[in-house]
Structure 1
Amino acid sequence: MNVTIVDYKSGNISSVINSFKEVAQNKVKIEVTSDLSKIKSTDKVVLPGQGSFKSCVDALQSINGLVDCLNDFVMNKKKPLLGICVGLQMFADVGYEESETKGLGWIPGKVTKIDNQDGKYKLPHIGWNQINLVKESKIFKDIKDKSHMYFVHSYEFVPIDKNSISATTDYSSKHVCAVEKNNIYGTQFHPEKSDKLGLQIIKNFIDL
């Protein structure tokens, strides 16, 4: 089986690559590429994202045919894809970081700035926080409710369909930290920085 991490030059993804390779232990081929033919033929895709919503969307679009390739992979072939951090946020229709930017539109909704309640809460929301599991999700197998994961973000994904939410976290308000819709999975937190539990989530995705 092949798992492909999409490298579209959106910041440092070395910890994502290292974590997937650690979990795969040569039993699963982990490839890091933006080559469309390799993405088309792979079994699973990981879409990381660091930086702003706009910079990540722009970087995806700068590689000719990549957005169409990912759309086909997810919407037509219905193969599993995991979005991490801004990788999850780009599932939305639109994001409002830097400027209004169109997202991939896989899970209807928007990405808006976390309400810091007039400075009461520091942004970015950074560090360990507990997650509240709101529905059974394949990527949370053997993960207990109220487990702690590692976050770094100032913006949150607000999906229209609440059934796509698989976990929330509390910071200023209750916001979405994981989604699952058919073959589409996403985490706002960084599993690759979330110690053993994060590696378990990566394993769950590889094992799907």
Structure 2
Amino acid sequence: MAEVIALIDYGAGNLHSVHNALKAAGAEVTVTADPYVVRAADRIVLPGVGSFKACAQGLNAIPHMIEAMTERVHVGGAPFLGICVGMQLLADRGLEHGVTPGLGWVPGEVRLIEPTDLAIKVPHMGWNDVAVLPHAKDHPVIEEGEAYFLHSYHFAARDWHDVAAMTDHGEGLVAAVAKGNVLGVQFHPEKSQAYGLATLRRFLEWYP
């Protein structure tokens, strides 16, 4: 029986492109805003573009969705993937348009990219390297490569061991976080061509 991949629909702008990319990677995807579907899912994917505050509000607006996600991931052990702002929401809080609480699954906060070199443009947009950190070299999903990024805020993790990969944009920026069965990528696998599809395939084959 095929696995149920729950792609959470909370109004994120990249929902359909992530859906198409997961299908291209071989997944049978259920796009859902139903917490009961999420509680029964084999894997959960949280997309996200735009501001941390707007995405957090959208997720909170779905009754019992965060409780369902938390139960399925932290009690049921389902593999979880957060993409772009979906990754940022894993933090304790975001500092975009005021202070907004996040899920608190990966300790840290989401801050504005503030390069010291004025030649470095914000947002960080375009293709950039994904460099896997030594302690995460054996992670089954995250590998070295080049991916597409588009963000003005970055994940400042509290614990270095939760960071799986970095990229460089005038300074080191977190490209991926990993904590148990929870994974988050700042880049857009749905826009990262062969590297992105390979990342999604590895996620679909991951049994943490």
Normalised TM-score (structure 1): 0.93
- Residue identity opposite 1:22 in structure 2: A
Give the whole-Å Cα distance in 1 for the aligned partners of 2:28 and 2:169. Answer: 37
In structure 2, C-alpha distance between the alignment counterparts of 1:132 and 1:183, rounded to whole Å: 20
- Partner of 2:48, secondary structure, is coil
Query: What is aligned with 1:154?
Result: 152
Greater alpha carbon shift after TM alignment, 50-59 vs 127-136: 127-136
Q: Deviations over 1:161-189 (max 9, x none)?
A: 11111100000210111011100001000
Q: Indicate conservation of the 8 Å contact 1:165/1:180, yes or no.
A: yes
Q: 1:1-29 deviations in whole A, cap 9, x for unaligned?
A: 111110111224211000101111xxx42
Counterpart of 2:72 in structure 1: which amino acid? F
The 5 A counterparts of 1:2-151 are 2-24=4-26, 28-117=27-116, 119-134=118-133, 135-136=136-137, 137-140=139-142, 143=143, 145=144, 147-151=145-149
Maintained 8 Å contact 2:41/2:78: no
Structure 1 stretches of at least 4 aligned residues deviating more than 6 Å after TM superposition: none
Could you tell which deviates more after superposition, 41-50 or 8-17?
8-17
Aligned partner of residue 196 in structure 2, secondary structure: helix
SS across alignment from 1:121: coil
1:75 to partner: Cα distance? 1.8
Q: Does 1:194 align with 2:196?
A: no
The amino acid across from 1:32 in the alignment is: V
- TM-aligned CA deviation for residue 118 of structure 1: 6.2
- Corresponding residue SS for 2:141: helix
Aligned to 2:165: 167
**What runs of 5+ residues in structure 2 fail to find an aligned partner?**
none
* Inter-partner Cα distance in structure 1 for 2:90 and 2:43: 16
Greater mean alpha carbon deviation, residues 182-191 or residues 68-77:
68-77
Matched positions, count = 201
Q: Deviations over 1:61-104 (max 9, x none)?
A: 11111111111122222211000000000000011011100000
**AA paired with 1:64?**
P
Given residue 156 of structure 1, which amino acid in structure 2 is its aligned partner? Answer: H
Q: Is the 2:117–2:170 Cα contact (8 Å) retained in structure 1? A: no
Q: Secondary structure at the match of 2:25?
A: helix
Query: Which ranges in structure 1 are unaligned for 5 or more consecutive residues?
Result: none
Contact 1:115/1:172 (CA < 8 Å) preserved in 2? no
Q: In 1, distance between residues paired with 2:118 and 2:32? A: 40
Q: Helix, strand or coil for the counterpart of 1:31?
A: strand
CA contact (8 A) 1:10 1:55 kept: no
